[in-house]
Amino acid sequence: MSIADNIRNLKKETEQIGVTLLAVSKTKPITDIQEAYDAGQRLFGENIIQELVEKQPQLPADIEWHIIGHLQTNKVKYIAPFISMIQSVDSIKLIQEINKHAARANRVIDCLLQVYIADEETKFGLGFDEAIEMLRSEEFAALKNIRIRGLMGIATNTDNEKQIKEEYYELKTFFDGIKTSFFRKDDTFDTVSMGMSSDYKLAIEQGSNMVRLGSTIFGNRAKKAV
């Protein structure tokens, strides 16, 4: 199946049930992204700033770019003028930096807090306690140029479906709690970003409303690029 076929099928599958499809185009060439675009896809995710900054000007301006990988504070300035959403906010320092550059660009940047749910040492993200602490802090309350739209999580890389389900269940439950405690009146706190190619169906069952799919759309990536 072509990239265009994959997009059409996956868009249909997800849109019918109110789930947003993010096409993860990291490591993939402009031509692949253009094919997905021509099939109707507008949301794309990248995790390397350098790569995104090279691709963005070569592609249609109405693409909504999302950052889905760990973002270093010194890179925020390169994407602040155009980025649609930063899904990988994992510290107060980072979100302060995003706020600063969003203000300079005269924008409000949508963000997700990346919450740590995996049983692995290597994944970035905030612990549940850290996320709450951040939302309660005065530093956070002072930020006017960011908008928290929800949470993002990455499950453990395992074949154990029960474990993946539990991790996604935890994230959805945490989202509901955060919504009630901090964003009760905020209709824009609405995004639960969970699910990748290997586990997106499980994630949707557990309440995801945004799935981030790369290899299912574009085929496998070269191993080293992850």
Ligand X SMILES: *Cc1c(COP(=O)(O)O)cnc(C)c1O
Q: Which residues bind ligand X (CB under 6 A)?
A: 24, 26, 47, 68-69, 154, 196-198, 212-216
Closer residue to ligand X (CB): 21 or 98: 21
Q: Smallest gap, in angstroms, from Cβ of residue 137 to ligand X?
A: 25
Assign 215 to helix, strand or coil. Answer: helix
DSSP annotation string for 104-136: HTT--EEEEEEEE-SS-SS---B-HHHHHHHHH
Residue nearest to ligand X (CB): 214
Closer residue to ligand X (CB): 21 or 178: 21
Closer residue to ligand X (CB): 41 or 47: 47
The CB density around residue 133, as the number of other CB atoms within 10 Å, is 13
State the alpha helices, DSSP H only, in 56-199: 76-79, 92-104, 128-136, 138-141, 161-182
Q: Smallest gap, in angstroms, from Cβ of residue 224 to ligand X?
A: 13
The CB density around residue 212, as the number of other CB atoms within 10 Å, is 24
Exposure letters 12-32 (e unless 16+ CB within 10 A, then b):
eebeeeebebbbbbbbbeeeb
Closer residue to ligand X (CB): 114 or 143: 114
Q: Smallest gap, in angstroms, from Cβ of residue 3 to ligand X?
A: 13
Assign 222 to helix, strand or coil. Answer: coil
Handedness of CA 10, 11, 14, 17 (dihedral sign): negative
Closer residue to ligand X (CB): 116 or 143: 116
Q: Smallest gap, in angstroms, from Cβ of residue 60 to ligand X?
A: 22
Q: Smallest gap, in angstroms, from Cβ of residue 104 to ligand X?
A: 27
